[in-house]
């Protein structure tokens, strides 16, 4: 799908690659989908050797600065509770989530997963607890709470 979005840039829905350079060296990248005037901010990444300079933040700010020139009216940061989203968002929209399945056990699994995820987000001291648990078990909850 990502390749198909990239191949035909004439579509109303197309891939958009942004690259941030330090001199001649690319240090941050973002690949997203541009749909009419909405940029869906999908895959930001950066060279960790330059992390002290916050290249992820820098590329986002450059994209936002150039948005009017590129006819981008909205940058959709998608779902997830990542700190950078709270730093950059000026509007947060709540959307319902769910699962439709022909398999009753999968439906129950998804319902339980969503209930656990929602309740975990409401825990006091969640950030500290998450840091401690992830220090001992780096992958804990990543699949469950996505």
Rounded Cα distance between 90 and 131, Å, is 27
Query: Which of 9-18, 49-58, 88-97, 137-146 has the highest mean predicted lDDT (pLDDT)?
Result: 49-58
- Residue 77: name the closest of 68, 67, 66, 90 by CA: 90
Residue 144 scores a pLDDT above 60: no
Own/partner long-range contacts of 85-92 (Cβ < 8 Å, ≥24 apart): 87/57, 88/60, 88/64
Better-predicted residue by pLDDT, 144 or 53: 53
Own/partner long-range contacts of 21-27 (Cβ < 8 Å, ≥24 apart): 22/50, 22/53, 22/55, 27/53, 27/55
Rounded Cα distance between 119 and 94, Å, is 16
Rounded average pLDDT over 1-25: 85
Task: Provide the β-strand partners of residue 33.
Answer: 15, 40
Secondary structure, 3-state, 53-118: HCHHHHHHHHHHHHCCCCCCCEEECCCCCCHHHHHHCCCCCCCCCCCCCCCHHHHHHHHHHHHHHH
Domain boundaries, the chain: 2-88, 97-146
Better-predicted residue by pLDDT, 74 or 117: 74
Better-predicted residue by pLDDT, 120 or 68: 68
Predicted local distance difference test score (pLDDT) of residue 1? 79
Contact between 52 and 63 (Cβ < 8 Å): no
Predicted local distance difference test score (pLDDT) of residue 146? 46
Q: CATH for 2-88, among 3.30.565.10, 3.40.50.300, 3.40.630.30, 3.40.50.1820?
A: 3.40.630.30
pLDDT one-digit tens code per residue, 60-85: 999 999 999 999 999 999 887 778 88
pLDDT one-digit tens code per residue, 26-53: 999 999 999 999 999 999 999 999 999 9
């Amino acid at each position: 799908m990502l390749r198909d979005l990239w191949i035909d840039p004439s579509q109303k829905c197309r891939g958009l690659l942004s690259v941030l350079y330090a001199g001649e060296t690319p240090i941050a990248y973002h690949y997203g989908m541009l749909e009419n005037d909405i940029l869906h901010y999908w895959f930001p990444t950066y060279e960790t050797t330059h992390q002290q300079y916050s290249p992820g933040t820098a590329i986002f700010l450059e994209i936002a600065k150039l948005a009017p020139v590129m006819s981008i009216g909205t940058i959709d940061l998608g779902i997830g509770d990542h700190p950078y989203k709270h730093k950059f968002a000026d509007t947060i929209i709540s959307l319902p989530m769910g699962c439709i399945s022909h398999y009753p056990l999968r439906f129950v699994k998804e319902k339980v997963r969503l209930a656990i995820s929602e309740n975990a987000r409401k825990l006091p001291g969640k950030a500290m607890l998450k840091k401690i648990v992830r220090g001992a078990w780096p992958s804990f909850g990543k699949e469950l709470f996505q």
